[in-house]
């Protein structure tokens, strides 16, 4: 009987000791986490208003230029929507550097520098843009869920609107990639001759 008592004590004390506590300056609850992630998303969208024009100026396919130009307009509106989200929460819109978006935009810039202008660079731009879209889809899905759980229905609706725009942008890029990737491959075949 003593063996089982010591075993159960060991198990319960190990469970207690493995529980992690938040960092002193980190979010301590869901609402703080939600607001912290909103700041991240706000910075990311503002960063994209600078990154997308670089993609546009490096793209050669008119359909890609048009898709990126349309999404740049959406992105500017998304910045305003996020400001509305902060407002519904009674908070000032504040941006906090999003390391993930900084990395994704840097990778996109590197891909554009490393590829030859034309279809191959267009394929690289689509690749970089879709990585960004997928990150944003995950971000806005999570933020909308946080908002719903917290009873922030107006914020949830605004975030779901952004989520749908990101999904649509990703779909447009997927459709464009079909023809652009074939063109990039054909260019490679011609180059090998």
CA distances from 2 to 8, 12, 13, 42, 89 (A): 10, 16, 16, 57, 55
Rounded distance, CA 167 to CA 160, Å?
A: 10
Rounded distance, CA 51 to CA 33, Å?
A: 26
Mean pLDDT on 88-96: 97
Q: Which of 18-22, 96-100, 130-134 has the lowest mean pLDDT?
A: 18-22
> pTM of the entire structure?
0.83
Specify whether the CB–CB gap between 101 and 135 falls below 8 A: yes
Predicted pLDDT of residue 71: 98
Q: What CATH class does 30-192 carry?
A: mainly alpha
Provide the mean pLDDT of the chain: 89
Other CB atoms within 10 A of residue 99 CB: 11
Spell out the domain ranges in the chain. 30-192
Predicted pLDDT of residue 2: 47
């Amino acid at each position: 009987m003593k063996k089982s008592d010591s075993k159960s004590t060991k198990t319960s004390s190990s469970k207690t000791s493995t529980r992690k506590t938040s960092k002193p300056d980190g979010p301590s609850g869901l609402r703080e986490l939600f607001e912290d992630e909103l700041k991240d998303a706000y910075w990311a969208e503002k960063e994209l208003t600078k990154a997308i024009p670089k993609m546009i100026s490096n793209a050669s396919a008119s359909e890609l230029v048009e898709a990126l130009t349309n999404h740049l307009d959406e992105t500017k509106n998304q910045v305003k929507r996020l400001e509305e989200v902060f407002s519904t929460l009674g908070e000032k819109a504040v941006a906090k550097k999003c390391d993930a978006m900084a990395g994704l935009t840097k990778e996109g810039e590197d891909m554009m520098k490393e590829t030859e202008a034309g279809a191959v660079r267009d394929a690289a731009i689509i690749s970089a843009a879709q990585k960004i879209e997928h990150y944003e889809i995950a971000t806005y899905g999570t933020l909308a869920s946080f908002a719903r759980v917290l009873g922030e229905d107006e914020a949830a609706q605004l975030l779901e609107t952004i989520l749908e725009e990101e999904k649509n942008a990703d779909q447009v890029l997927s459709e464009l990639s079909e023809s652009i990737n074939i063109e990039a491959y054909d260019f490679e075949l011609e180059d090998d001759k």
